[in-house]
Amino acid sequence: MAASRVTSEDNARIVDAVAAQGPRLRAFVRRQVADLSEVEDIVQDAFVELVSAYRLMEPIEHVAAWLMRVVRNRMIDRFRKESRKATTRDTFYEADPAGILEEWFAPDAAGPEANYARRVLADELAAAVDELPSEQRSVFIAHEVQGRSFKELAADWGVGVNTLLGRKHAAVRHLRQRLQDIRSELET
């Protein structure tokens, strides 16, 4: 689709829409989202998308309804992202991250420093896992945290074992690279 030049008439429509719909959208999002900076980000994302739609020559007949749909979608996206992060971290902590990290650190009997270091590394590992693409993250958690076999995963997911091995290898490579700095700091 070819991009067009936004005309002064389009600019006027955009300005009118922002002025008319901005307060209503902010009030709607504020009822759903506690963080005021998140509220503003969501509303601004909707307005950016409105400008983009005009540049791409996508006709918007009912701007108010269109903006409301965009705002709802942005809120859903943000809630899903937050939920996924919490779920990944919860999964790690419920599955005993010390078992995953035991090769690097002494057992609990080693003292509070080792426990603190283990917890810091587990937090970093959970954050690094959150950064993985969903397919790599799913394979890594299923295999390493939940202890499921590749054969079992392949049967359940309808994906070849070699595909799963490739995804896991890519995940491990990313995690090693991402965690190398923190590991070096904790070992000194």
User: Residue 28 and residue 13: Cα distance in Å, rounded?
Assistant: 22
Residue 164 pLDDT > 90, yes or no? yes
**Cα distances (angstroms) measured from residue 34 to each of 28, 30, 40, 70, 126:** 11, 6, 11, 19, 25
This prediction has a pTM of 0.43
Give the pLDDT confidence of 38-67 residue by residue, as tens digits.
889 999 988 888 888 877 766 677 888 888
Average pLDDT in the 66-91 region?
72
Amino acid in position 140: F
Lowest mean pLDDT among 4-8, 122-126, 139-143, 172-176: 4-8
Give the pLDDT confidence of 17-28 residue by residue, as tens digits.
889 988 998 988
The yes/no answer on whether domain 95-187 falls in CATH 3.40.630.30 is: no
Residue 167 pLDDT > 90, yes or no? yes
Residue pair 129/137 in contact (Cβ under 8 Å)? The answer is: yes
- Pure H helices in 56-160: 63-94, 97-101, 112-131, 134-140, 150-157
**Per-residue pLDDT, 3:** 46
Q: Which two tokens stand for residue 66?
A: 């269109």
User: Residue 37 and residue 181: Cα distance in Å, rounded?
Assistant: 31
User: Residue 80 and residue 72: Cα distance in Å, rounded?
Assistant: 12
Q: Which two tokens stand for residue 101?
A: 């990290």
**Per-residue pLDDT, 73:** 85
Domain ranges of the chain: 8-82, 95-187
- Could you tell me which CATH class the domain 8-82 is placed in? mainly alpha
Give the pLDDT confidence of 125-151 residue by residue, as tens digits.
777 888 888 899 889 888 887 888 999
